[in-house]
Amino acid sequence: MCTKNGSCTMSMIGKVLLIVGGINWGLVGLGTLLQSGSSWNVVEMIFGPVSTLTSIIYVLVGIAGVMKIFGCKCSKCMSCTCSTDGNMENKM
């Protein structure tokens, strides 16, 4: 099986960050639409509103997104012999 898409540690971390980011923004949107008044921002719930740690999480999610576009460049993924066309392949 091809190791190009998400079997290395970097890709796994990136995938988790994208999931966290996606769910987080989904809940922020829901909270705003339902006008609940309280923030549904999971990242801010856990790490506190607009803290340095929260900002770092956002930056990491951003990096994970960019990494997803260009693909992981670690030695494990680069040594993969499969074509880059399989990069968009989704096992979900």
The residue ranges that bind Zn ion (CB under 5 A) are 8, 10-11, 72, 74, 77
The CA angle 56-30-26, to the nearest 5 degrees, is 45
Q: 64 or 72, CB closer to Zn ion?
A: 72
Quick one: the chain helix, strand, coil %, rounded to 5?
65, 0, 35
Nearer to Zn ion, 25 or 76 (CB): 76
Q: How far apart are CA 50 and CA 52, in angstroms?
A: 7
Nearest CB to Zn ion, comparing residues 11 and 24: 11
In whole angstroms, the minimum distance from the beta carbon of 6 to Zn ion comes to 8
Minimum distance between the CB of residue 1 and Zn ion, rounded to whole angstroms?
14
